[in-house]
Amino acid sequence: MGRIRNLTLVVVLIWGCLMTGESLAVVVKQMNLEDVVTSSRYIFAGRCAGSEIRHDAETGRQVVFVKFTVAQMIKGEEVDEITFKMSRVAVDMGNVPTFARGEEVILFLYGKSDVGFTSPVGLAQGTFSVLSSSTGEKVVVNGNNNSSLLQGIDTTKYAKRTTGPSFLAALDRVAPHQSGPIDYQTFITLVEGMVDTK
């Protein structure tokens, strides 16, 4: 009788751990812009052409396919369109960013897994919405309101390079930045300069 009780307890504990694991929020390490750039396989500016849930023959599961029209490829092979797939479970749980048709972004993506899945680097940290400021200028902001995005960046390695005056000027402009939107072109200049050093 004691063995049955112990077995039941073990089964209940395992089931509870599995259920708890599924219901916990995802904890993501805080990343600065250098971390996000370095961790990315693809970086592009573009507009969402749509997303849909459909059967994936490779995994045998329902997944979310997201398609983007690329305006500017910053890192990765030059293409006009990018389609990638994300876990439907992660999307349904709110653990990865979602995209609406027509939404303009600068997106930092991990490389694809063995079965073709990817997601934005650092989740919300690698997803930058392109918005208009109150003065009508284009700005970018990620899901963390760009919090700590520029902290801890080793500026000396960029200063030693021949990155050109525009990169160094952009770096100086944003050096005191703590959070909130960043000018679109300044951001692009910073990212391009960081990609060039890799």
Residues in the chain: 198
* Assigned domain for 23 exists: no
Which residues span the domain enclosing 93?
Answer: 33-197
- Determine whether 149 is exposed, middle or buried from the number of CB atoms within 10 Å of its CB (0-12, 13-18, 19+): buried
pLDDT average, residue stretch 59-83: 96
Tens of pLDDT, residue by residue over 93-112, are: 888 899 999 999 999 999 99
Cα–Cα–Cα angle for 67, 50, 117, rounded to 5 degrees: 40
120-158 pLDDT, tens per residue?
999 899 999 999 999 999 999 999 999 989 888 877 777
High-pLDDT (> 90) share of the chain, %: 59
Please check whether residue 82 lies inside any domain of the structure. Answer: yes
* 22 inside domain: no
CA dihedral 97, 114, 26, 180 (to 10 degrees): -40
Residue 93 domain-assigned? yes
Residue 170 lies in a domain: yes
102 within a domain of the structure (yes/no): yes
Q: Give residues with Cβ within 8 angstroms of 78, minimum separation 6.
A: none
Residue 61 has pLDDT above 50, yes or no: yes
What gap in Å lies between CA 99 and CA 175, rounded to an integer?
30
pLDDT of residue 16: 37
Domains contained in the chain, number: 1
Give me the DSSP letters along the chain: -HHHHHHHHHHHHHHHHHHHHHHSPP------HHHHHHH-SEEEEEEEEEEEEEEETTTTEEEEEEEEEEEEEEESS--SEEEEEEEHHHHHTT-S----TT-EEEEEEPPP-TTSB--BTTGGGGEEEEEE-TTS-EEEEETTTTTTTTTT--HHHHHTS---HHHHHHHHHHTT--SS-EEHHHHHHHHHHHHHH-
- Residue range 10-30, pLDDT digits in tens: 333 333 333 334 444 556 788
Question: Does 27 map to a domain?
Answer: no
What's the rounded Cα separation, in Å, for the pair 85 and 104? 18
Q: What is the CATH number of the domain that holds 78?
A: 2.40.50
Above pLDDT 70, what percent of the chain? Answer: 81
Q: Which position has the token pair 């080793």?
A: 154
Residue 3 lies in a domain: no
44, 82 contact by CB (below 8 A): yes
Pairwise CA distance, residues 170 & 38, whole Å: 19
Report residue 196's pLDDT band, with 50, 70 and 90 as the boundaries: confident
